[in-house]
Amino acid sequence: MKFRQLLPTLATMLTLTCGLVAMEAARVGSWDLSLGLILLAMVADGVDGTLARRLGATSTMGEQLDSLADVIAFAVAPAFLFSTYYVGTPAPVRLGAALAFVLAGAFRLARFHAQPIRGAFSGLPTTVAGPLLGITVVGPFGVSVREAGAVGLGLAALMVCHHPFPTLARSPRWFLPAMVAALLPLGLWPRIETVAIVAAVTLGAYVLWSIVIQIVNDDAQAGDVEEVRRVVGRLP
């Protein structure tokens, strides 16, 4: 391994470590710590890719290692958190929802490498789905297992679908300033509840914006096609 590849690799290992420790924290009932580590893994995952591109250290091995870390941190760890938090729920329901989420995340990451598309993600990124599930389960919203399970299955469906979700580079100009503004409450109330609310609002806005903008674009394209047909129909 070249020296310039060391920093991105360490960031990827931090993502993996956060996922593993988040599962141990969930096992002993440290729910806030488990959620905090999943959110920290999301930050580390963004750092490793940025470092790799800035340092010219991208590689096939790094991409594969990143996907393996993502499976643990954003598929297995949130699903394990769900399963342990609602341990009183019948096992078929609890484990069924957790398994569906893990399988969807693994499928989504495999397709990312096997069938890449330019300028967008095919399906909801696991780095968004995993933290959203964790926030739903142990965040400050107090949802039931039925509601959390429905959210988990919905996120699983979004991961395996072919709906395009834009990369950060293709996001609107207001998105990054909005993210910075959303982080301001952390300076006033630096607690896990604040982090969870900020992350939920930010990630939820990303999901909703991605879906709405695609619907608008599809309607615009359909309107253009219809206009062409009307023009062609008037020709002698």
CATH code, domain with 67? 1.20.120.1760
pLDDT of residue 13: 93
State the total domains in the chain.
Answer: 1
| Selection from 176, 183, 167 nearest residue 127 by Cα | 167
Residue 1: the pLDDT is 57
Is residue 154 in some structural domain?
yes
What pLDDT does residue 173 have?
A: 61
Write the DSSP symbol of residue 87: T
Asked if residue 215 is part of any domain, the answer here is: no
Residue 148 lies in a domain: yes
Domain membership of residue 28 as a residue range: 3-170
Q: Is residue 97 part of a domain?
A: yes
Instruction: Provide the residue-wise pLDDT of the chain in tens; the chain has 236 residues.
Output: 566 778 888 889 999 999 999 999 999 999 999 999 999 999 888 888 778 778 887 777 878 889 999 999 999 999 999 999 999 999 999 999 999 999 999 999 999 878 777 777 889 999 999 999 999 999 888 899 999 999 999 999 999 998 888 876 555 565 556 655 555 555 556 577 878 888 888 888 888 888 887 777 655 444 443 443 454 455 45
Which residues have C-beta within 8 Å of that of residue 178, sequence separation ≥ 6?
202, 205
Predicted TM-score (pTM) of the model is 0.82
Give the chain's end-to-end CA distance (angstroms, integer). Answer: 68
